[in-house]
Amino acid sequence: MRISKKNGKKFAQNLINAINNSKKNDLNRLITALGIRHVGSKAAKVLAKKYKTMDNLSAASFESLEQIEDIGPIVANSITEFFAQDQTADLLTKLKAAGVNMKYIGEKLADNRFEGKTFVLTGTLENYTRQEASDLIEKFGGKTSGTVSKKTDYVLAGNEAGSKLTKAENLGVKIITEAEFNEMCQ
DNA sequence: AGGCCTCGAGATCG
DNA sequence: CTCGAGGCCT
């Protein structure tokens, strides 16, 4: 499957973003920006960690991909088809020539205080962007998700929190304020 | 069946 | 940003 007209606009925008952010780029961000079907930020992270470099990923076999946790046959197929395209190879060559980082940067603190904990963010935070809060949680070994379920450990609620807050209350999920979150990160 | 990621669309805000 | 629909994985 080639890149359709429908996806062209998004593709171009993602490409621009990838280039602009290249200074602090980690591999997972670049993978996300490629706009591979069924591969968003979560899957990109898993792929970056597994293959370490874009070269390794582009050469990955269907069998190899399918064995990865959370990656099934549909997603694996989507990835191999993407890298089989001539224009993908051209694109990667150009990005490389432009100095875009193609390697995984494994950064993790020794502090795993949030190990095994799942957070859901809702509302607007005062001192963090969503991205920063999310990065912070991950550096402490925790995870962030988009939907509240009984598996959620904490819902970090900022101002103007939405329906996730109600759902958290119904499920009896622990709700924390930004101030409480700060204390947990001290 | 359950969980949640991905993606598109419509409100939000600087 | 938030939400809902759709789809993938276990």
The DSSP-derived string for A54-103 is HHHHHT--HHHHHTSTT--HHHHHHHHHHHHSHHHHHHHHHHHHTT---B
Per-residue flag: A37 CB under 7 A of strand B: yes
pTM: 0.82
d(CA A161, CA A58): 40
- Nucleotide closest to A149 measured between CA and C1': B3
Instruction: Look at A21-25, A37-41, A129-133, A164-168 and tell me which has the smallest mean pLDDT.
Output: A21-25
Q: Is the dihedral of CA A157, A38, A22, A106 positive or negative?
A: positive
Per-residue flag: A72 CB under 7 A of strand C: yes
- Nucleotide closest to A143 measured between CA and C1': B4
Residue A6 banded pLDDT, cuts 50, 70, 90? low
φ, ψ dihedrals at A52, nearest 5°: 65, -40
Q: Which residue is nearest to nucleotide B8 (CA to C1')?
A: A10
- Neighbour count for residue A58 (Cβ, 10 Å): 17
Residue A5 banded pLDDT, cuts 50, 70, 90? low
pLDDT in tens, A55-105: 999 999 999 999 999 999 999 999 999 999 999 999 999 989 888 889 998
Q: Please calculate the CA angle A114-A120-A125 and round it to the nearest 5 degrees.
A: 100
Mean pLDDT of A117-144: 87
Per-residue flag: A157 CB under 7 A of strand C: no
Distance measured from the CA of protein residue A89 to the C1' of nucleotide B4, in angstroms: 31
Higher pLDDT, A2 or A134: A134
| For residue A2, pLDDT beyond 70 | no
Provide the pLDDT for residue A65: 96
Mean pLDDT of A145-170: 86
Give SS3 for A144: strand
In one letter, which amino acid is A106?
Answer: G
Give the best-scoring range by mean pLDDT among A5-9, A23-27, A155-159: A155-159
d(CA A120, CA A141): 14
Distance measured from the CA of protein residue A40 to the C1' of nucleotide C8, in angstroms: 13
φ, ψ dihedrals at A105, nearest 5°: -110, 100
Per-residue flag: A1 CB under 7 A of strand B: no
Per-residue flag: A163 CB under 7 A of strand C: yes
Provide the pLDDT for residue A79: 96
Give every CB contact of residue A168 below 8 A, 6+ residues apart in sequence: A120, A148, A152, A155, A157, A174, A175
